[in-house]
């Protein structure tokens, strides 16, 4: 065929054939790539001129997933997607940066680096290649991949190296002093319930409030039901075990050769009685369920089988008081609220008030769906909630007025006294809300200490705590005394870590902008893999 084409390459027929063949090849094998490029669907993430295709991204993710599976680690798809995305971005940013800065990691350097890793050294501190081979085999990672990853680690360390030489000694001293200081506050607790609302609300105001706060006037779903009990002891009375049945059981016993009939008689009789009892219970409960399914009235069935009936009216799901006289009342509510109106549950087991075993089922008589109560039926409640809201507004208005006056230099105790309120002073507490005796301070301080340590001396604000409005002012800023060397080291390390992580994130963000990192979020959506925006990643 090829020989024929070569001989007649100048003929019109061969040229047409070759053109059709080329177009067919483009259509069958290249058109999808062309369309993907035109529609911007040919990459998941782009770093400079490098595009990570959807296929490559899936491959990298599958590789990471297999590694985690081998370690029997729990895999979260969204977390894994983000981890792969971060890894692909960072490793390519590192490669670009290392080329620009002229970082070349030779094979000799790599050999020295790996041989120096404590993970591959024996008890005498010597490099053991068997430990390296075992490590790679366990992780199922090829040697070339491990070397390349290690090479990237070195490049990353070189790029981050300047961060390690940042001096924070002056900042550390200020940080230590600030974090070991203590504070006290003056505070006034304004209870909304103490504010009087003298103006009577109009009908229009109440209706408007009702419309805006309908969720506050929702009536929960209620159900009325009947519970029937089948007492196990009533069935047990009719259970009989004959001598012949006991003898037959003994003959079939595996312990026959080791124990006498008289020795085993009582045990065998008890087992037979229990088996018969369970069989009879299964038979009776099945008959009851079949009768109810056939449409017989619950009351008729209860009388027929001598069942005890218990009635519960208009009960809510979490209304435990309504079923407090039933030992298994909470289970009844759970079952009753899981079946439809006019239906019966299956039998369940429980102990009654006398600690006797009973079988019980629930019939749901009626269901009142969850709904918003009519305005006319909850008028008193609407009015009470309206007044309560107005009292809160009054308390917040007074609190805002306090804060404004405190900014202008007025005294908090004087302000409190003028309106008949009491000003309290807290004990000294640290930045964790802990007092001198290492115990948590009052509820006020426990809710405010973070805000207090974000403010300066004499600065004031207000906050709501358990429904009350609390105005507070920073009274004392008590400097740290007798700072120990241990305190200094601990807080220095804490500050250094915070600053290092912050600088590192800024470095990643800077380099990602420098090399034009672009994430195709639309492609990630198609994978159904939720991912944070680039701003959140860096």
The predicted-structure confidence for 303-320, as pLDDT tens digits, reads as follows 999 999 999 999 999 899
Boundary of a domain, candidates 314, 346, 369? 369
Beta strands 50-52 and 45-47 are antiparallel
DSSP string, 417-463: HHTT--EEEPPPB-TTSBBTTSSB--HHHHHHHHHHTTS-TT-EEEE
Average pLDDT, the chain: 83
> Sheet holding 460-465: strands in order across?
423-425, 182-190, 468-478, 460-465
pLDDT at 69: 63
Do 308 and 404 reside in the same domain of the chain? no
Q: 245 or 497: whose pLDDT is higher? A: 245
Residue 484 lies in a domain: no
Do 260 and 337 reside in the same domain of the chain? yes
* CA triple 62-68-74, angle to 5 deg: 110
Residue 172 lies in a domain: no
Residue 13 has pLDDT above 60, yes or no: no
Residue 273 lies in a domain: yes
Q: 142 or 405: whose pLDDT is higher? A: 405
pLDDT at 74: 63
Residue 485 lies in a domain: no
Residue 142 lies in a domain: yes
Residue 58 lies in a domain: yes
pLDDT at 10: 54
Do 311 and 253 reside in the same domain of the chain? yes
**Gap between the Cα atoms of 462 and 207, Å rounded:** 31
Boundary of a domain, candidates 369, 388, 413? 369
Residue 120 lies in a domain: yes
Boundary of a domain, candidates 331, 347, 369? 369
Domain count across the chain:
4
Do 346 and 234 reside in the same domain of the chain? yes
How do residues 162-202 score in pLDDT, each as one tens digit?
766 667 777 777 778 778 899 999 999 999 999 999 999 99
pLDDT at 456: 93
Residue 44 has pLDDT above 50, yes or no: yes
Do 452 and 411 reside in the same domain of the chain? yes
Do 457 and 516 reside in the same domain of the chain? no
Do 352 and 384 reside in the same domain of the chain? no
pLDDT at 537: 42
**Gap between the Cα atoms of 52 and 87, Å rounded:** 12
Residues forming a β-bridge with 420: none
Residue 67: partners with Cβ closer than 8 Å, 6 or more residues away? 139, 140, 141
Which residue range(s) make up the domain with 523? 45-165+498-537
Do 416 and 458 reside in the same domain of the chain? yes
How do residues 129-166 score in pLDDT, each as one tens digit?
888 888 887 767 778 878 887 888 888 878 777 766 66
Do 149 and 191 reside in the same domain of the chain? no
pLDDT at 437: 61
* Residue 478: closest CA among 421, 408, 426, 532: 426
Residue 7 has pLDDT above 80, yes or no: no
Backbone φ, ψ for residue 470 (5° rounding): -115, 120
Lowest mean pLDDT among 66-70, 120-124, 489-493: 66-70
Residue 103 lies in a domain: yes
Residue 17 has pLDDT above 60, yes or no: no
> Where does residue 314 fall: left (phi above 0), alpha (psi -120 to 50 degrees), or beta otherwise?
left
Residue 396 has pLDDT above 60, yes or no: yes
How do residues 435-485 score in pLDDT, each as one tens digit?
876 554 578 888 999 999 999 999 999 999 999 999 999 999 999 888 888
What is the band of 491 on the pLDDT scale with cuts at 50, 70, 90?
confident
């Amino acid at each position: 065929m090829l020989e024929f084409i070569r001989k007649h390459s100048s003929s019109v027929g061969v040229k047409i054939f070759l053109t059709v063949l080329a177009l067919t090849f483009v259509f069958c094998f290249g058109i999808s790539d062309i369309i993907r490029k035109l529609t911007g669907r040919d990459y998941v993430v782009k770093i400079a001129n490098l595009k990570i295709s959807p296929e490559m991204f899936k491959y990298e993710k599958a590789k990471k997933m297999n590694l985690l599976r081998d370690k029997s680690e729990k895999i979260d798809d969204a977390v894994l997607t983000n981890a792969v995305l971060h890894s692909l971005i960072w490793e390519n940013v590192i490669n670009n940066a290392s080329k620009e800065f002229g970082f070349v990691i030779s094979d000799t350097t790599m050999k020295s680096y790996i041989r120096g890793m404590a993970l591959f050294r024996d008890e005498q501190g010597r490099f053991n290649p068997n430990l390296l081979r075992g490590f790679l085999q366990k992780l199922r990672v090829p040697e070339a991949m491990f070397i390349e990853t290690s090479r990237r680690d070195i490049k990353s360390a070189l790029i981050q190296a300047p961060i390690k030489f940042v001096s924070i000694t002056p900042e550390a001293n200020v940080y230590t002093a600030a974090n070991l200081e203590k504070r006290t506050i003056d505070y006034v607790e304004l209870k909304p319930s103490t504010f009087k609302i003298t103006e009577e609300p109009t009908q229009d105001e109440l209706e408007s409030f009702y419309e805006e706060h309908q969720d506050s006037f929702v009536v929960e779903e209620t159900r009325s039901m009947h519970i029937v009990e089948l007492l196990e002891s009533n069935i047990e009375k009719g259970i009989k075990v004959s001598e012949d049945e006991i003898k037959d059981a003994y003959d079939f016993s595996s312990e026959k050769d080791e124990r006498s009939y008289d020795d085993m008689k009582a045990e065998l009789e008890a087992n037979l009685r229990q088996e018969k009892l369970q069989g009879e219970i299964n038979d009776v409960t099945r008959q009851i369920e079949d009768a109810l399914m056939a449409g017989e009235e619950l009351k008729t069935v209860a009388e027929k089988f001598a069942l005890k009936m218990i009635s519960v009216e208009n009960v809510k799901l979490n209304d435990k008081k309504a079923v407090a006289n039933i030992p298994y009342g909470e289970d009844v509510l759970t079952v009753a609220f899981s079946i439809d109106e006019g239906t019966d549950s299956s039998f369940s087991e429980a102990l009654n008030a006398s600690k006797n075993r009973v079988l019980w089922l629930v019939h749901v008589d009626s269901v009142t769906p969850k709904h918003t109560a009519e305005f006319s039926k909850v008028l008193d409640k609407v009015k009470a909630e309206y007044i309560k809201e107005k009292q809160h507004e009054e308390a917040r208005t007074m609190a805002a007025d306090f804060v404004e006056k405190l900014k202008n230099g007025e005294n908090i105790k004087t302000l409190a006294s003028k309106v008949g309120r009491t000003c309290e002073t807290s004990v000294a507490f640290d930045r964790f809300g802990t007092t001198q005796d290492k115990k948590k301070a009052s509820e006020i301080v426990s809710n405010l200490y973070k805000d207090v340590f974000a403010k300066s001396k004499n600065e004031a604000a207000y906050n709501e705590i358990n429904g009350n409005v609390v105005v507070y002012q920073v009274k004392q800023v008590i400097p740290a005394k007798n700072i120990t060397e241990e305190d200094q080291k601990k807080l220095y390390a804490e500050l250094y870590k915070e600053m290092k992580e912050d600088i590192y994130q800024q470095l990643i963000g800077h380099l990602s902008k420098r090399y034009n990192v672009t994430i195709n979020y639309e492609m990630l959506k198609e994978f159904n893999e939720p991912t944070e925006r680039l701003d959140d990643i860096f």
